[in-house]
Amino acid sequence: MQSEIAKNKKSIIVGMSTCNIASGAQEVFDFCKKAVAEKVLDVNLSITGCLGMCFAEPQVQIVEPDGSRHIYVYVSAKRMEKIMEEHVLGGKPKVEWTARFNEGEFKQLMGKQKRIVLANCGFINPENIDDYLAVDGYKSLRKVLEENNPQKIIDDVTKSGLRGRGGAGFPTGVKWNFARQQQGDKKYIICNADEGDPGAFMDRTTLESDPHAVIEGMVIGAFAIGSDEAYIYCRAEYPLAIQRLYKAIAQAEEKGFLGKKIMGFDFEFQIHIKEGAGAFVCGEETALMASIEGRRGMPRLRPPFPAQSGLFGKPTTINNVETWANIPWIIRHGHEAFAAMGTEKSKGTKVFALAGKIKRGGLVEVPMGITLGEIIHDIGGGTGTKRNVKAVQMGGPSGGCVPASLFTTKIDYDEVTRTGAIMGSGGMVVMDETTCMVDIARYFLDFTQLESCGKCTFCRIGTKRMLEILTRICSGKGKESDIDLLEDLATQVKTTSLCGLGQTAPNPVLTTIRYFREEYEEHIREHKCRAGRCRALCSFTITEACTGCTICAKNCPVNCITGEKKKIHFIDQQACIRCGVCRDLCKFNAVEVGLRVK
């Protein structure tokens, strides 16, 4: 599949995405590099991006000269030494250390996925354009340039049913058509890579693992609307993604896919990278454009819409990373193939980042129409804590908490919206029974309140008042009127805010009240936090189910747990800081949550 492995040599390919590196991949790569040099091995040593299996990293692939592939998971430098000796040198794969997609958890993980955006991620070298070309890269661009029919491109994208994957779900072809119809000699393309949702890493992984797919999509879009210049707005917290983007752009220019006379045709296009400072509000398109222009990132009134007057006052088309990455596939396979997947109003696939208490965390790409339950239980494996799934937060701080009772909800823009959440860019934070829904609402509102640009009074002040109320409830000082007051403030913030941040900021509060109202009432009336997260409202005690394994005592940060080995332990309530570590670590469910002991 890779150009680097098509040389009749054995290849060692190390996953070198941010998540792999954080798990120790750099040490593994350094070991491989040293071993190859010392043993003078006739092998190709290469890197790749993220396969999406973040829970099982670092990962190393051994590819035989015939193309057969073994994907090793949970690789350490010590384990790599064994792989080198027995597989690379000895020719005997250690199958028990590999991901076998025809059985077990890896079959469950991949069985219901359909990969378009993630198709190349983890299989090609993102720093080598020849690898992208070896998997039909830039063939879609050549096709549209040869056909020389920009309107046909827009019609194909429209017929595919592709909706913007950044959150709002606006039809991509319709947006492009608006920009194409605008008069003027200058139009802009923007890729919104300002991924700021807690628990979301779809854009980062795509840019780190397959940057050329995004670039190719942007060039096709530019040809369609009549643009010759673009910006990729990527937050500076993604240094590896930015580094690989710069490299990919330089390689594309060298190969003639960017610049003047692209592929020999009378078409020119250039891409700049703008590094964002990390302001969540700059994910909103008008604030993003203000930031590129060198102004403070604050939203403005619409109309005029960006397609009419956007960057520097010129017609502008803005789509996010995932949307652009879909374009080459649609052009190459036809709009019918994309439209054949999904539901009536939500076509194609969607990439999700599974985070939180999920067992198999990472990136998944599924066809629209699959249910939440299938993603979380069948693909994600449920919780890694062995407790029941309580809810999933969709759409980040702008989304909402969907309870487990609604996991029959299909991945469809309209169906998800009916739950009170939003599809968003694709973040899913899974929560188990140890999650306090009042506290989770407080956490997300704290985030949006801090990230508010302050332009709108109700967003600036209303979210602050809501946060004060939630903090009061979590500390045991809530009032009976607080729930109604939260709902009233939420309505006002939603209806009077200028941009999507303010309009959606109350969603976590509204959905937790809607589905978990009894937890709010318990906090206020009984001064109780059933999840054991609000320290002012809970205590922990050890029951007779304790086996005396001593794990809780060894991990208690204040050493307040005592007891002999193989005998029931005890918690000193005066010294306990109610952190919940003992409950989280106990394998025998011997730690109970109760009312705060005064």
3-state SS, 381-436, equals CCECCCCCEEEEEECHHHCEEEEHHHCCCECCHHHHHHCCCCCCCCEEEEEECCCC
The whole-number average pLDDT for the span 76-87 is 96
Question: Is residue 4's pLDDT more than 90?
Answer: no
Q: Assign 398 a pLDDT band (cuts: 50, 70, 90).
A: confident
Question: How far out from the chain centre does Cα 348 lie?
Answer: 18
- Rounded Cα–Cα distance for residues 279 and 330 (Å): 32
Backbone angle region of 150, left / alpha / beta, with phi > 0 → left and psi within -120 to 50 → alpha: alpha
- Rounded Cα–Cα distance for residues 552 and 416 (Å): 40
Q: Assign 1 a pLDDT band (cuts: 50, 70, 90).
A: very low
Contact 248, 321 (CB under 8 A): no
Q: Assign 598 a pLDDT band (cuts: 50, 70, 90).
A: low
pLDDT at 2: 44
- Rounded Cα–Cα distance for residues 349 and 363 (Å): 13
Backbone angle region of 569, left / alpha / beta, with phi > 0 → left and psi within -120 to 50 → alpha: beta
Q: Which of 17, 87, 85, 22 is nearest to 47 (CA)?
A: 17
Structure tokens at 429: 């934070």
Q: Where in the chain is the domain with CATH 1.20.1440.230?
A: 437-526
Contact 363, 383 (CB under 8 A): no
Q: Where in the chain is the domain with CATH 3.40.50.11540?
A: 129-338
- pLDDT digits 0-9 by tens, 525-563: 999 999 999 999 999 999 999 999 999 999 999 999 999
What is the fold of 3-99?
Glutaredoxin (3.40.30)
- Rounded Cα–Cα distance for residues 212 and 227 (Å): 19
pLDDT at 7: 59
Report phi then psi at 453, rounded to 5: -75, -15
Quickly count: other Cβ atoms within 10 Å of residue 107's Cβ: 12
> Positive or negative, the Cα torsion across 26, 32, 33, 38?
positive
Q: Assign 5 a pLDDT band (cuts: 50, 70, 90).
A: very low
Report phi then psi at 399, rounded to 5: -100, -150
- Rounded Cα–Cα distance for residues 497 and 499 (Å): 6
Q: Which of 419, 412, 408 is nearest to 367 (CA)?
A: 412
Contact 331, 342 (CB under 8 A): no
Structure tokens at 371: 């249910």
**70, containing H or E segment:** strand 69-72
pLDDT at 167: 78
Long-range CB contacts (within 8 A, 24+) of 289-296? 289/190, 289/316, 289/318, 291/233, 292/190, 292/231, 292/233, 296/453
Question: Is residue 6's pLDDT more than 70?
Answer: no
- pLDDT digits 0-9 by tens, 109-165: 999 999 999 999 999 999 999 999 999 999 999 999 999 999 999 999 999 999 999
End-to-end CA distance of the chain, in Å?
65
What's this model's pTM, rounded to 2 decimal places?
A: 0.94
The whole-number average pLDDT for the span 247-264 is 97
Nearest-5° Cα angle at 545, 542 to 549: 80
3-state secondary structure (DSSP) of residue 27: helix
Q: What is the DSSP string of 137-191?
A: TTHHHHHHHHHT-HHHHHHHHHHHT-B-TTTT--BHHHHHHHHHHS-SS--EEEE
Contact 217, 175 (CB under 8 A): no
Q: Where in the chain is the domain with CATH 3.40.30.10?
A: 3-99
Q: Where in the chain is the domain with CATH 3.30.70.20?
A: 538-594
Question: CB under 8 Å to 185, separation ≥6 — which residues?
Answer: none
The whole-number average pLDDT for the span 436-442 is 97
Q: What is the DSSP string of 105-125?
A: HHHHHHHT---STTSSTTTS-
Structure tokens at 506: 């109350």
Q: What is the DSSP string of 217-278?
A: HHHHHHHHHT--EEEEEEETT-HHHHHHHHHHHHHHHHHTSSBSSGGGSS--BEEEEEEE--
- Rounded Cα–Cα distance for residues 521 and 425 (Å): 32
Quickly count: other Cβ atoms within 10 Å of residue 564's Cβ: 9
Contact 230, 190 (CB under 8 A): yes
What is the fold of 349-432?
Ubiquitin-like (UB roll) (3.10.20)
CATH code, residues 538-594: 3.30.70.20
Average pLDDT, the chain: 95
Report phi then psi at 591, rounded to 5: -110, 120
Question: CB under 8 Å to 340, separation ≥6 — which residues?
Answer: none
Question: CB under 8 Å to 491, separation ≥6 — which residues?
Answer: 506
pLDDT at 597: 60
- Rounded Cα–Cα distance for residues 486 and 499 (Å): 20
Quickly count: other Cβ atoms within 10 Å of residue 294's Cβ: 7
- Rounded Cα–Cα distance for residues 302 and 413 (Å): 23
The amino acid at residue 6 is A
The amino acid at residue 165 is R
Candidate CATH numbers 3.90.1170.50, 3.40.50.11540, 3.20.20.140, 3.40.720.10; the one for domain 129-338: 3.40.50.11540
- Rounded Cα–Cα distance for residues 547 and 559 (Å): 18
- Rounded Cα–Cα distance for residues 209 and 433 (Å): 35
CATH architecture of the domain 437-526 equals Up-down Bundle (1.20)
Question: Is residue 595's pLDDT more than 70?
Answer: yes
Q: Where in the chain is the domain with CATH 3.10.20.600?
A: 349-432
